[in-house]
């Protein structure tokens, strides 16, 4: 693990603000969250694993440019999400910059990332964004109804987890994508409300990837034995 630079400079303040929003959402689910950072081609990919969703979230932001920042393209490090958030300047005199926190020993998921290439779009079956949000709303309503219907002696975390696994493991449309991936995309701000919002489902080997302009959700296919790899850096996930 090498850390060739000690600071980050983004293309503009909005890029830093978008990254800050992503980090806040990750920290909402896990105050001790770590993120893996990889840079290349003038962009920084930030990988996180929101607690309870069993997926990887990827947010890519544009850097000021390799010519402005020697060594950035070699950056590959795991850091504290909270420390990275605290370092970002989104409104001050140095807006669009941030300090690179010291490396941390990452959790196991940081060593098992999706492959860099081989992604192909899965065209049939993925509902449009409006339908995806409707499916999420219906799932939340069902969860609450089933939770409220539990007898008093069965109102336990284990029983609620069983309900959650049943609902969120259901696939979306005619695809292999589980509903929990769509739920994660919504929770992390990747699934916006515009009616013409573009979403795509891609596959590479054992992995699926739900891509939107604001980030991506990646996970292994059901029953697949994934391997080590790296996801290529590209703005928009």
Note the pLDDT tens digit of each residue in 184-235. Answer: 999 999 987 766 778 999 999 999 999 999 999 999 987 655 443 344 444 4
Q: How far apart are CA 141 and CA 132, in angstroms?
A: 14
H/E run at residue 51: none
**CB 77 within 8 Å of CB 103:** yes
**Quick one: pLDDT at residue 234?**
40
Instruction: Identify the pLDDT of residue 233.
Output: 41
Phi, psi (rounded to 5 degrees) for 181: -70, -40
pLDDT value at residue 237: 53
Q: Which residues of the chain have pLDDT under 50?
A: 1-4, 67-71, 226-236
Q: pLDDT value at position 217?
A: 97
pTM over 0.75: yes
Which H or E run contains 77?
Answer: strand 76-80
């Amino acid at each position: 693990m090498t850390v060739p630079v000690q600071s980050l400079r983004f293309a503009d303040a909005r890029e830093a603000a978008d990254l800050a929003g992503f980090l806040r959402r990750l920290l909402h689910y896990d105050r001790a969250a770590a993120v893996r950072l990889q840079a290349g081609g003038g962009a920084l990919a930030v990988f996180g694993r929101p607690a309870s969703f069993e997926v990887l979230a990827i947010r890519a932001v544009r850097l000021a440019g390799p010519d402005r920042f020697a060594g950035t393209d070699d950056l590959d490090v795991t850091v504290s999400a909270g420390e990275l958030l605290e370092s970002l300047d989104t409104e001050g005199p140095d807006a669009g910059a941030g300090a690179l926190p010291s490396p941390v020993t990452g959790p196991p998921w940081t060593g098992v990332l999706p492959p860099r290439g081989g992604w192909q779009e899965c065209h049939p079956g993925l509902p449009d964004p409006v339908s995806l949000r409707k499916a999420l709303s219906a799932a939340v309503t069902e969860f609450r109804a089933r939770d409220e219907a539990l007898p008093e002696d069965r109102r336990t975390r284990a029983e609620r987890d069983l309900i959650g696994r049943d609902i969120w493991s259901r696939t979306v449309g005619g695809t292999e994508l589980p509903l929990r991936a769509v739920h994660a995309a919504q929770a992390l701000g990747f699934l916006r409300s515009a009616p013409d919002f573009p979403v795509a489902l891609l596959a590479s080997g054992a992995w699926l990837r739900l891509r939107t302009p604001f980030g991506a959700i990646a996970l292994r296919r059901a029953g697949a034995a994934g391997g080590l790899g790296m996801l290529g850096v590209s703005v928009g996930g």
